[in-house]
Amino acid sequence: MYIKTSEQGSAAARRAAAHGRSSGSLSRRDFLKASSVVGGGLILAFVVPGTNRLARAEEAKAAPSAPNAFLRIAPDNSVTVMVNRLEFGQGVQTSLPMLIAEELDADWSQVRGELAPAGNAFKDPVYGMQMTGGSGSIAHSFIQYREIGARARAMLIAAAAQQWNVPVEQCRAVKSVVYGPQGKKATYGSLADAAMKQPVPEKVVLKDAKDFTIIGKPTPRLDARPKSTGKQQFGIDAAVPGMKIALIAHPPVFGAKVGKLDASKARAIAGVIDVLEVPTDRGGRGVVVIANGYWPAKQGRDALVIDWDTSAVEKISTTTQFEQYSALAQKPGIVARKADMSKLASAPKKLVAEYRFPYLAHAPMEPLNCIVDLKKDSCTVWAGTQFQTVDQGAIARTAGMKLEQVTLNTLMAGGGFGRRAVPTSDYIVEAVNVAKAYQASGRTGAVKIIWSREDDIRGGYYRPAHLHRAEIGFDEKGAILAWNHAIVGQSIAAGTPFEGFMVKDGVDSTMIEGMGAPYDLPMQLSAHTVKANVPVLWWRSVGSTHTAFVMETLIDEAAVMAGADPVAYRKRLISDKHPRHLAALDLAVAKSGYGKRTLPAGHAFGVAMHESFESVVAYVVEASVENGVPKLHKVTAGVHCNRAVNPLTVEAQVQGAILMAVGTTLPGAAITLKDGVVQQQNFGDYTMARMPDMPHVEVHIVASDAAPTGMGEPGFPPLAPAYANAIAKLTGKRLRSLPFDLAAA
């Protein structure tokens, strides 16, 4: 991907849209003139609707959404939909255009998606900021994107009716063509200029679901061919004229500084331009090597001789940390949920269980990268970012500029799982600091910062390590009398702009999410929030990565103590308030043959279910253990995500989540520290799931006409506990940690 910075036409238009007003007005000033952008056509204005961050999809429609930077219809009849998210494998570059195309009545073969730059126009209508996360892309934009398509369609029909001098009611649109009386017809492309002059309707009637021709239909992804043929360009492939490559030597302990530096050998390497000391994340200092290419930059960095000063920073060791967590879990913490624990001490049967979960790296296939072109009065950045609004603000602050002087272009990313959504904007801020240092040295031009795989694994912002301690009392028949549960770990949100609504009474909501529900349990829940010199961040499905494992393995164990079938036991504990859970579980059970199908010798079923991001996923797995090594053979999924906009995307998300979750069960799937230094550095010592680990997967979706809920993350949480429950049936051993360790069980 070679970015031609001299061609500023459409980029300038997008920047104009990005920095437009965000009031509820629909004035003509909110429109872009097509002639200045693509030589004619329709480009319609968008106004940010109300920003209630807690609104559901069907509620996120307080203000009318006019179609602006979101939609371009060119004279050649092509329809370009601006995607206000990051595309990094989850399929929004197809599913979001599907929403507009449905209400626009567009010819799908002429529709394409384009990633939007940072700007007010592209903010999430629920969160009030431009971002990709929380499995909210479809859930939050379901109404927004459909209304944009409906408004554009109405304007095109109005333009045709005016041109033919007939009533609007006598015109209809089908596959990018408007038809009128007496055989009249006109393509969207031929009507685009005239449609631009039509008023934006303040109210539109959206289609009834029975009339959908695109939504709900299995639709191949628009980026499938370039990705499957190796032609897709990602951020790491991007280049601008004359740019240099930079690699940063980060301190080995988070927040440490440079003591002594000998850069003589690095400077002597051909292609190395400069070696500079720069600020790094968390108050640290590092050394950047800037060169004519990646290889000389890497050679130069390898040749640096640095004496790091770690005297002022905490040095975490994993073994000691878990010992401290275990001691804390046995002490009173902040009570997040109260329940009557009076029956616990005298309960006839008791279960005490401690669970441990390590730090986890996001480890996307594409390491972090960022291009910065810093000039005297502007800063242009190219990055695969999940947090456009946050990152654009961080760039402006770091560069000492106004927000309108910063252009942040969104590039396709090769994965992220949350790592590209950092409240501190760590890698982007570091990149701007490198550009500032480069400029201060008397040089000009763009600089591209690239993280190596080792940088990525050791670079921090991990899924936090957690420890759970459960004390459960049962009666003689195995019914639960009291459940006292404590969780220890770091807060993701503390000290970030998200603390105000994610931390309540000192408890980070992500730490305890998924505990208890949907089961009717007498559970008292408490939390200990600790501080540690290890940067932490959300990681695919956030707190549910550990809470689902604890809940679903303990519920399974409780079923055994009660002498009940695990599925029947779960259904008894689920109240009528949770019909979606029952539907997902029943679907997975029915499709898997659980209780009816005879398994091969040495195989066993395992069951688990979990709700996250308002979607419920239930798994029935088939597993075995051979020579002490677990093997997952098959997974049957029951998914309740309300309406599935693109069933193929839902299926792909579940498949990907399953493989990623399998990875967390494999030996070596842990980030550990010793004296503050991360001990893993590449896929040789940080285990990732590979193709042979992938089981056979069948995905079944509960039919629903309700507004969509999230699907990027919900497929992850219930896999590991379902797998562990199958292993328990085969071995009698209850696994209390991830990754799996049968020897220690």
pLDDT in tens, 290-345: 999 999 999 999 999 999 999 999 999 999 999 999 999 999 999 999 999 999 99
Q: Does 332-360+461-731 match 9-227 at the fold level?
A: yes
Residue 484: C-alpha distances to residues 104, 324, 389, 506, 601 (Å):
54, 19, 41, 19, 38
CATH architecture of 332-360+461-731: 2-Layer Sandwich (3.30)
Residue with tokens 């989540």: 657
Give the phi and the psi of residue 601 in degrees, each rounded to 5. -60, 135
* pLDDT at 121 (0 to 100): 87
**449 close to 434: Cβ distance less than 8 angstroms:** yes
Confidence of residue 138 (pLDDT cuts 50, 70, 90): very high
CA–CA separation, 138 and 219 (whole Å)? 15
Confidence of residue 175 (pLDDT cuts 50, 70, 90): very high
Strands 244-249 and 447-450: parallel
**158 close to 198: Cβ distance less than 8 angstroms:** yes
Confidence of residue 219 (pLDDT cuts 50, 70, 90): very high
Give the residue among 169, 178, 46 at the shortest CA–CA distance from 106: 178
Work out whether the CA dihedral 20, 24, 29, 31 comes out positive or negative: positive
CA–CA separation, 343 and 521 (whole Å)? 13
Choose between 69 and 139: higher pLDDT. 139
Mean per-residue pLDDT for 56-71? 48
* pLDDT at 373 (0 to 100): 98
Buried b (16+ CB within 10 A) or exposed e, 205-239: eeeeeeeeebbbeebebbbeeeeeeeeeebbbebe
Q: What is the pLDDT of residues 507-551, one digit of tens each?
A: 999 999 999 989 999 999 999 999 999 999 999 999 999 999 999
Indicate whether 64 pLDDT > 50.
Answer: no
* pLDDT at 498 (0 to 100): 93
Percent of the chain whose predicted confidence (pLDDT) is above 70: 91
* pLDDT at 49 (0 to 100): 36
Residue with tokens 């709700």: 611
- The answer to whether the peptide bond before residue 739 is cis (omega within 30 degrees of 0) is yes
Identify residue 728 by its one-letter amino acid code.
Answer: A
Cα Dmax for the chain:
86
Q: What is the pLDDT of residues 337-393, one digit of tens each?
A: 999 999 999 999 999 999 999 999 999 999 999 999 999 999 999 999 999 999 999
Q: ∠ CA(357), CA(359), CA(364), 5° rounding? A: 120
**30 close to 69: Cβ distance less than 8 angstroms:** no
CATH top class, domain 235-311+368-450: alpha beta
Indicate whether 432 pLDDT > 80.
Answer: yes
Query: DSSP alpha helices (H): ranges in 262-416?
Result: 264-267, 294-302, 318-329, 388-399
CA–CA separation, 588 and 699 (whole Å)? 9
* pLDDT at 35 (0 to 100): 27
CA–CA separation, 548 and 568 (whole Å)? 19
Percent of the chain whose predicted confidence (pLDDT) is above 90: 88
Give the residue among 454, 457, 6, 432 at the shortest CA–CA distance from 246: 432
**277 close to 249: Cβ distance less than 8 angstroms:** no
Six-digit token pair at 522?
A: 């007498």
Indicate whether 654 pLDDT > 90.
Answer: yes
**463 close to 543: Cβ distance less than 8 angstroms:** no
Confidence of residue 62 (pLDDT cuts 50, 70, 90): very low
* pLDDT at 670 (0 to 100): 98
Count how many residues are written for the chain: 745
Q: List residues bridging with 449 in a β-sheet.
A: 246, 370
Indicate whether 263 pLDDT > 50.
Answer: yes
CA–CA separation, 456 and 465 (whole Å)? 18
Indicate whether 165 pLDDT > 90.
Answer: yes
Confidence of residue 4 (pLDDT cuts 50, 70, 90): low
Residue with tokens 């399998």: 662
Q: CB neighbours of 400 closer than 8 A, spacing ≥ 6?
A: none
Q: What is the pLDDT of residues 564-587, one digit of tens each?
A: 999 999 999 998 899 999 999 999
Give pairs for 110-113: CB < 8 Å, separation 24+. Answer: 110/77, 110/78, 110/79, 110/176, 111/78, 111/79, 111/80, 111/81, 111/222, 112/78, 112/79, 112/80, 112/81, 112/222, 113/80, 113/81, 113/82, 113/83, 113/87, 113/222
* pLDDT at 584 (0 to 100): 98
538 burial via Cβ count (<10 Å: 0-12, 13-18, 19+) = buried
* pLDDT at 576 (0 to 100): 87
Indicate whether 18 pLDDT > 50.
Answer: no
Indicate whether 14 pLDDT > 70.
Answer: no
Q: What is the 3-state secondary structure (H, E, C) of 424-469?
A: CCHHHHHHHHHHHHHHHCCCCCCEEEECCHHHHHHCCCEECCEEEE
CA–CA separation, 358 and 287 (whole Å)? 30
Give the phi and the psi of residue 4 in degrees, each rounded to 5. -90, 95
Number of H helices, E strands in the chain: 18, 29
* pLDDT at 3 (0 to 100): 73
CA–CA separation, 129 and 147 (whole Å)? 19
Indicate whether 104 pLDDT > 90.
Answer: yes
Where is 152: in which H helix or E strand? helix 137-164
DSSP 233-266: --GGG-B-TT-EEEEEE--SBTT-EEEEEE-HHH
CA–CA separation, 61 and 140 (whole Å)? 10
Domains of the chain, residue spans = 9-227, 235-311+368-450, 332-360+461-731
CA–CA separation, 698 and 378 (whole Å)? 51
Mean per-residue pLDDT for 410-414? 98
Give the residue among 126, 133, 125, 53 at the shortest CA–CA distance from 90: 133
Six-digit token pair at 151?
A: 């408004």
Confidence of residue 487 (pLDDT cuts 50, 70, 90): very high
CATH top class, domain 9-227: alpha beta
Work out whether the CA dihedral 414, 418, 421, 423 comes out positive or negative: negative
Residue 659: C-alpha distances to residues 688, 693, 694 (Å):
9, 7, 6
